[in-house]
């Protein structure tokens, strides 16, 4: 355990980032798309921006089932990304 292989650290980070991006695309683009669109129309909000979830959560206007689905999804997604990225790193 003398030296860190920065190439493998970078590769693991890239793999974890790709997994997170794909997971977010699936969650926001497919799984919650209709629920969120209905919610925006019902409340008279414009289409969501980058920080809508954080702002909505802070204001307490996020639908309960959307919050529960998102928290469960994120927990699994981040664990999967972390383990996949870490699995690529092997010390020499």
H helices present in 1-92, as ranges: 6-26, 33-43, 52-59, 64-87
Structure pTM?
A: 0.70
Q: pLDDT of 28-86, one tens digit each?
A: 788 888 887 787 777 777 766 655 565 566 555 666 677 788 888 889 999 999 999 99
Would you kindly state where each structural domain of the chain is located, as residue ranges?
A: 16-87
Residue among 34, 26, 5, 36 at smallest CA distance from 80: 26
How many Å apart are CA 78 and CA 82, to the nearest integer?
A: 6
């Amino acid at each position: 355990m003398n030296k860190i292989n920065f190439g493998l650290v970078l590769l693991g980070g890239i793999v974890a980032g790709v997994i997170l991006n794909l997971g977010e695309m699936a969650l926001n683009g497919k799984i919650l798309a209709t629920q969120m669109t209905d919610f925006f129309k019902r409340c008279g909000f414009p289409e969501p921006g980058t920080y809508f979830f954080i702002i909505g959560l802070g204001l307490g206007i996020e639908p309960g089932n959307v919050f529960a689905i998102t928290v469960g999804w994120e927990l699994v997604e981040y664990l999967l990304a972390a383990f996949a990225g870490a699995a690529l790193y092997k010390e020499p």
